[in-house]
Chain A
């Protein structure tokens, strides 16, 4: 069964350092997302990406964050200067279609990358 894969599974970094989280979405999917879950809190939307550009982003996704699809398979989330409050589980997701298309709008999530900022 196709799946979304994420690397690394866990990254520990010092405050102020740059971090890149990598994702390989399901190959025929067109929409890509990053979500995060701070420990004990809800899953929060960060950004969606379609046709090589950001289609939506939340207020969490400030100038410290950027996303890129550098080639045909990878989808990356970069945090330029990490802060303590960036510590969270970051989930990549992909979907075949926009959520408006009812039968195909499900998101498929990766297993997450745990980021710990010290």
Chain B
């Protein structure tokens, strides 16, 4: 079956530090890959996505590149802010298109990110 593995944290960084959150996946087909973010007290929001190998998703200064050869989709940001403090979820869908496959998303456990001023 499908699975997603990511570092659980908490990950604590200082403001303006470089961020990497690792995510690797196992899938039987050709998944679409996603990063969702959950800010304190809020619902899950789509941060970025990539639907095929070598695609790069980007949003709000965050980037992730779909690496089929290493089955990875690591999240990066060059300079984090206190407002980036949240829980980040890596997810996959077996859809060949923009995502949200018929059998639902498979999520990692989530990484709690804490940014200190």
Q: A and B bound?
A: no
